[in-house]
Amino acid sequence: MMKRRDFLTHTSLLVGSSLLPVSALLHAGTEPASATALAKADWRALRQQFALTYDYIHLATFLLASHPKPVADAIARHRKAFDENPADYWHEHFMTIDQQIAAAAADYMGGEAWQIALTDSTTMGLALVYSGLKLRPGDEILQTVYDHYSTDLSLQLRADRTGAKVRQVALYDEPALVSVDEVLGKLKAAIKPATKVVAVTWVHSCNGVKLPIRAMAQLLAEQNKQRDEADQIIFCVDGVHGFGIENVDVSTLGCDFFIAGAHKWLFGPRGTGVIWGSKRGWDHCHAVIPSFSRSYDVWLGGSTQEQVPVGEHMTPGGFHSFEHRWALPEAFKLHLQLGKAEVQARIHQLNSQTKQGLQQIKGVKLHTPMSAELSSGMVCFDYKQMAPDEVVKAMHSKGIIISSTPYRKSYARFAPSLINSEQEIDRSLAALVSV
């Protein structure tokens, strides 16, 4: 008896053959990118890969990326193939392409492909992990006061459903003066016997502080040595504002989950993201949304659940913006061409220039640490007695796009990225002086 998927594929091929040879259609969507490969640290050539207008200096591209040419070209190729024959194109690729994307993600971020689930955003990734955590009534989730609304609500919703409790902790008194010892001391003091989950954000978009994740993971590992396996702490990290900047292998950070959107610093397709999970992490997490690809084949009877990698099983099924998700490997390739170490050095260089310049401007109060060890790609500050949104508007009127932090306590924020130059930073600082 022919399986439903085989029947659909067979039917699609018959219909498609009357319009266009299937081999030609599939080749049209998978041909190599037309953009020329970039040399390491060639920032000028990289800027030319973007359609970003030169009418403004863009210091807020971390919010939602403009697509560089290799990504845009891949999206266009996949979209063309879908528009010409969506059924054939999807059936040809849906069982294998998630594996290929996960492999490209692992090449860039570390770990192995089986550990990686694909999502549409950081928010979706946070919700999938936190909604799936195996918690008992009375378990405690310890989070920080610096996390985004997406973390706050995802954790509270899980607590409501399981009888767990959520508690928040401050890890430092003054963000600009934060130290590793202060963070570790406050974290250790906050842990209680009931603490089952520690959820943190790597780089705080509210003030620019970057947490020392490896040192925190080591502290939690020491705590776990004193606990029974069922009571050991799961360490979860919202990594989005370090992802695409920091030169790390996420599998060596010591966390159990690393969650990030790919459409920010990485310049990935809009509507894409990843979850990396350790074996221990995934063992403590249920799937929330049914997966497709090989998990779908399990339902059809073609394979067993043991044959499906856990990351693939945790990847939400359904129909997505496939032309965007399937173009994600191009963003990873682009960053690897530029060099992970070179990317990190460049962004830290531009942010150090920004912080040093702001320190010289009368009326500025800097909230982001000067140290690269405890900061990354964001510089948060107050200016004079102006509200942050007023600073944003005033800078926009001068042709410079910055942002304000979307939290109860808000600051103005510069976020230099790889598309910026030293000259643009100097011009932006000069413009602020004249506000």
What pLDDT score was predicted for residue 306? 81
User: The CATH number of 340-433 is which of 3.50.50.60, 3.30.429.10, 3.40.50.300, 3.90.1150.10?
Assistant: 3.90.1150.10
Q: Reduced to 3 states, what is the DSSP secondary structure of residue 409?
A: coil
Written as six digits, the tokens of 55 are 């009418």
DSSP state of 176: G
| Per-residue exposure over 261-297, b if at least 16 CB sit within 10 Å of its own CB, e if not | bbbbbbbbbbbbbbbbbbeebbebbebebebbbbbbb
Written as six digits, the tokens of 150 are 């997406």
Contact 273, 118 (CB under 8 A): yes
Burial zone of 70 (CB within 10 Å; 0-12 exposed, 13-18 middle, 19+ buried) = buried
Nearest Cα to Cα of residue 240 among 69, 140, 339, 378: 378
CA distance 357 to 354: 5
Which segments of 110-176 does DSSP mark as H helices, in order? 122-132, 149-162
β-pairing verdict for 403-404 and 400-401: unpaired
Burial zone of 124 (CB within 10 Å; 0-12 exposed, 13-18 middle, 19+ buried) = buried
CATH of segment(s) 100-336: 3.40.640.10
What pLDDT score was predicted for residue 153? 97
β-pairing verdict for 403-404 and 379-383: unpaired
Q: Reduced to 3 states, what is the DSSP secondary structure of residue 94?
A: coil
Contact 250, 306 (CB under 8 A): no
What pLDDT score was predicted for residue 419? 98
Q: Where are the domains of the chain?
A: 100-336, 340-433
What pLDDT score was predicted for residue 41? 98
Tens digit of pLDDT at every position of the chain (435 positions): 334 334 333 333 333 333 333 333 333 444 433 456 899 999 999 999 999 999 999 999 999 999 999 999 999 999 999 999 999 999 999 989 999 999 999 999 999 999 999 999 999 999 999 999 999 999 999 999 999 999 999 999 999 999 999 999 999 999 999 999 999 999 999 999 999 999 999 999 999 999 999 999 999 999 999 999 999 999 999 999 999 999 999 999 999 999 999 999 999 999 999 999 999 999 999 999 999 877 777 777 777 888 889 999 999 999 999 999 999 999 999 999 999 999 999 999 999 999 999 999 999 999 999 999 999 999 999 999 999 999 999 999 999 999 999 999 999 999 999 999 999 999 999 999 999
DSSP state of 229: G
Written as six digits, the tokens of 424 are 């643009």
Q: Reduced to 3 states, what is the DSSP secondary structure of residue 58?
A: strand
